[in-house]
A and B are shown apart, each in its own frame.
Chain A
Amino acid sequence: MHHSVTTNLSNGSAAFTVDPSLYPLDALYGAAYVFIDRCFVFLEKNAQGHVVVSLAPKKGPADQPTLEKWAGEFSNELLSCAWRHQIAANNKQALEQVTSLALAGAMGPPSLDDLSNFDFSSQPLEDPLGIAMSWEEKYKKKPKP
């Protein structure tokens, strides 16, 4: 196992110590979440500031091969999440554009019913800076008090 992730297979659970300077916390959460249907996942912080992850069986004891499988898969998932986190940040604009195109394309243009049901009073359409006001209206002389 990589030295930044140490594994303890005693006590019937797989325990990891993850160095947060190598793995973003978001990646750690992402990897941990993938395992919650298979086992209980506990996250703690130790004295060195490292994150201790424990994977414990939900029912009865887990055998050594199962714990080793969880440990290996967790490490792979953690690496995958960490790299995907970085890729998503790097390619954010392209990913957002393609997603918007795909969802807008699937939905099609708004219908008249959509427009009639649209809430035009919502906050983003209010105009606190007066951008939608005419020049004359915005800069007209104010009456003297």
Chain B
Amino acid sequence: MTDLISLAPKLDTSSQAFFRFRNIPNTTKTLITNYEGFYALLSKEEFERFATGTIEPNTPLHQRLSENNFLRATYDSKRAADRLWSRRQMLAQGPNLHMLVVTLRCNESCVYCHASRATMDRVDTDMSKETAEKAIDLILQSPNPNLTIEFQGGEPLVAFDVVKHAIQYANEKNKKAGKQLEFTMVTNMSLMDEEKLKFLLENRVQLCTSIDGPEHLHDLQRKLPRAPGGDGVGRKDGAHATAVKWIKRINEEWQKMGLDPTLYRVEALLTTTRDALPLWKEIVDTYVDLGCRALFLRPVDPFGWAEKTERKVEYPREEYLQFYKNVVDYMIELNAKGVQVLERYAAIFLSKFFGRDPNFLDLRSPAGAGIGALAYNYDGRVFSSDEGRMLHEMGDSSFEIGHVATSTYKELVGHPTVRSEVLASNLDGQPDCVNCTYNPYCGTQTAHNHKKFGTVFGRTRESTLCSVHKGIQDYLFERLAAEDPKVLDIFQKWTTNRPRTHFLQPTTPA
């Protein structure tokens, strides 16, 4: 393997511009990246020539390194600034994502529930319409011209009157604010009915649900009462069958409205538990059969019930990474046969490698807590992130930054906690991250660090987030290093972002 120490005496700083390097596992290639985020994969011989400053001009290697700003003689400051700004411009825009927890009540019982859901009789955990209005008044003060209001729970369909009121109120108020406004809802679908669906379709609400894989796994992890019970809702289908029924129905409705069926689909999320790991193929097949175009392989987080059920749902991250590789390898096989399905982590990281930062809040530096997103709890308390809100429900209010009734917008985003989180999640101040080859593409989460290590900084080398992020990027660069044209073409397609303009609310000036 290439060892910089043996090359150190020969390093010619008049030749190389700033770079970080990493040997990519299972390959003979060395990855180099620079501060602004360009990368190059070099063979051992190429890397030695680069490191010893012996690259001849007018060679393909010289041209490749020059084009990516790795050589001092041809370093293009403007290109570096443009690339850096494409990663940092989101910092100048303010919070885009605003999560409204309209209730903690939920009729499903999930083994890994991160949200600390409440039982159906806990009506005291419903958001009042007045609280929703005050939250929306704050949201519309964000300087970001593009705002997304995400309805969460609990199960937001439980408090559907609040959702309806919030949408109507936000649209009314937005006549003056003039934002590009979108609504999304994260729902288990089980309380969907014709009337609610009609309202959601008419109001262009984007819908997202959870699918944990094949029916037996999903229903094992997400319990939905079948007989009429405390919630007064009886049904013959379990959680999976119910969600599938409505996914198909909603996709059909969007198609009837003339929307492109390859673009407008119900999004589904997977929470990866230990029981999911051996079922990688069945999980992909389930998503493909449902017509889903994307699968997000989120590892389980240490929030809510997942902490209590850790011994049942958790796993070593090496096992997760093997699962991840199995899934993405299989997806690549399917794509080569014409089936369009992608993995979200891969799409996010690949977009960053290729210079098109999608501004995913948990994979950016600094992270999006408080400056990219805010979470509004049912009782009006405001948090810098949804994870911070989850911690509050577990008894730790470290990330509470105000209240919709008493705080101004600027007091929220300028709160000392937000400032601390911005500083702590800047990878240029983090041990390990500061020298990591993946620094330009990666991110950390302050609430996760606080939960696991007792400090918003965390300790990167011991962090499960770091091992997941590094492992996924190692795998993706391993696939890129193989230079298989089919895989490169598939990866390019995965990073193509087609905007879904239907979900933008119509703007009518006041």
Query: Which residues of chain A from 73 to 118 have a CB within 8 Å of any chain B CB?
Result: 76-77, 80, 83-84, 87-88, 91, 94-95, 98-99, 101-109, 114
Check A106–B428 contact: CB distance below 8 A: no
Q: Which residues of A contact B454 (CB under 8 A)?
A: 34-35, 37-38
Name the distance in Å between A94's Cβ and chain B's nearest Cβ. Answer: 6
Q: Which residues of B contact A34 (CB under 8 A)?
A: 453-455
User: How distant is the Cα of A108 from the Cα of B95 in the complex, in angstroms?
Assistant: 10
User: How distant is the Cα of A76 from the Cα of B462 in the complex, in angstroms?
Assistant: 9
Given A34-B454, A106-B371, A84 contacting B143 (CB threshold 8 A)? no
Name the distance in Å between A72's Cβ and chain B's nearest Cβ. Answer: 10
Check B431–A84 contact: CB distance below 8 A: yes
User: How distant is the Cα of A104 from the Cα of B453 in the complex, in angstroms?
Assistant: 29
Name the distance in Å between B85's Cβ and chain A's nearest Cβ. Answer: 11
Check A107–B143 contact: CB distance below 8 A: yes
Output the nearest chain B residue to A99 by Cβ-Cβ distance: B422
User: How distant is the Cα of A77 from the Cα of B431 in the complex, in angstroms?
Assistant: 11
In-complex Cβ contact of B431 among A83, A95, A101, A105 (8 A): A83
Q: Does B1 contact A (CB under 8 A)?
A: no
Q: Which residues of B contact A35 (CB under 8 A)?
A: 454
Check B429–A88 contact: CB distance below 8 A: yes
Check B413–A103 contact: CB distance below 8 A: yes
Name the distance in Å between B141's Cβ and chain A's nearest Cβ. Answer: 8
Q: Which residues of A contact B94 (CB under 8 A)?
A: 105-108
Check B430–A87 contact: CB distance below 8 A: yes
User: How distant is the Cα of A104 from the Cα of B143 in the complex, in angstroms?
Assistant: 10
Name the distance in Å between B478's Cβ and chain A's nearest Cβ. Answer: 29
Q: Does B457 contact A (CB under 8 A)?
A: yes
Q: Give the residue among A35, A84, A102, A104 with the most B Cβ atoms within 10 A.
A: A102
Check B414–A103 contact: CB distance below 8 A: yes
Check A91–B434 contact: CB distance below 8 A: yes
Check B143–A80 contact: CB distance below 8 A: no
Q: Does B13 contact A (CB under 8 A)?
A: no
Name the distance in Å between A2's Cβ and chain B's nearest Cβ. Answer: 16
User: How distant is the Cα of A103 from the Cα of B384 in the complex, in angstroms?
Assistant: 13
Q: Which residues of B contact A108 (CB under 8 A)?
A: 94, 141-143
Q: Which residues of A contact B245 (CB under 8 A)?
A: none
Q: Which residues of B contact A88 (CB under 8 A)?
A: 429
In-complex Cβ contact of A105 among B91, B419, B428, B462 (8 A): B91
User: How distant is the Cα of A35 from the Cα of B370 in the complex, in angstroms?
Assistant: 26
Check A105–B423 contact: CB distance below 8 A: no
Q: Give the residue among A80, A91, A94 with the most B Cβ atoms within 10 A.
A: A80
User: How distant is the Cα of A115 from the Cα of B375 in the complex, in angstroms?
Assistant: 28
Q: Does B407 contact A (CB under 8 A)?
A: no
Given A34-B453, A95-B428, A108-B143, A102 contacting B434 (CB threshold 8 A)? no
Q: Which residues of A contact B413 (CB under 8 A)?
A: 103, 106-107
Q: Which residues of A contact B366 (CB under 8 A)?
A: 98-99, 102
> How would residues 92 to 130 of chain B score, 1 for a CB under 8 Å from any chain A CB and 0 otherwise?
111100000000000000000000000000000000000
Q: Is the interface of B mostly helix, strand, loop or mixed?
A: loop
On chain B, the number of residues with a Cβ less than 8 Å from chain A's Cβ atoms is 31
User: How distant is the Cα of A108 from the Cα of B414 in the complex, in angstroms?
Assistant: 11
Q: Does B426 contact A (CB under 8 A)?
A: yes
Check B91–A102 contact: CB distance below 8 A: yes
Q: Does B418 contact A (CB under 8 A)?
A: yes
In-complex Cβ contact of A76 among B370, B422, B459 (8 A): B459
Output the nearest chain A residue to B365 by Cβ-Cβ distance: A98
Output the nearest chain A residue to B459 by Cβ-Cβ distance: A80
Q: Does B410 contact A (CB under 8 A)?
A: yes
Check A105–B92 contact: CB distance below 8 A: yes
Output the nearest chain B residue to A91 by Cβ-Cβ distance: B428
User: How distant is the Cα of A100 from the Cα of B293 in the complex, in angstroms?
Assistant: 39
Check A103–B459 contact: CB distance below 8 A: no
Q: Which residues of B contact A105 (CB under 8 A)?
A: 91-94, 143, 371
Name the distance in Å between A77's Cβ and chain B's nearest Cβ. Answer: 7
Q: Does B88 contact A (CB under 8 A)?
A: yes
Name the distance in Å between A52's Cβ and chain B's nearest Cβ. Answer: 22
> How would residues 444 to 456 of chain B score, 1 for a CB under 8 Å from any chain A CB and 0 otherwise?
0000000001110
Q: Which residues of A contact B370 (CB under 8 A)?
A: 106
User: How distant is the Cα of A34 from the Cα of B457 in the complex, in angstroms?
Assistant: 11
Check B143–A95 contact: CB distance below 8 A: no
Query: Which residues of chain B from 395 to 434 have a CB within 8 Å of any chain A CB?
Result: 410, 413-414, 418-419, 422-423, 426, 428-431, 434
> How would residues 3 to 35 of chain A score, 1 for a CB under 8 Å from any chain B CB and 0 otherwise?
000000000000000000000000000000011
User: How distant is the Cα of A46 from the Cα of B3 in the complex, in angstroms?
Assistant: 43
Check A107–B88 contact: CB distance below 8 A: no
Q: Which residues of B contact A109 (CB under 8 A)?
A: 143
Q: Which residues of B contact A114 (CB under 8 A)?
A: 410
Q: Give the residue among A38, A77, A95, A98 with the most B Cβ atoms within 10 A.
A: A98
Q: Which residues of A contact B95 (CB under 8 A)?
A: 106
7 sample A-B contacts, Cβ–Cβ < 8 Å, listed by A number: A34-B453, A95-B429, A99-B426, A102-B91, A103-B422, A106-B94, A106-B142
Q: Which 9 A-B pairs have the closest CB atoms?
A: A108-B143, A105-B92, A106-B413, A106-B371, A83-B431, A102-B91, A106-B94, A34-B454, A102-B371
A: residues with CB less than 8 A from B are: 34-35, 37-38, 76-77, 80, 83-84, 87-88, 91, 94-95, 98-99, 101-109, 114
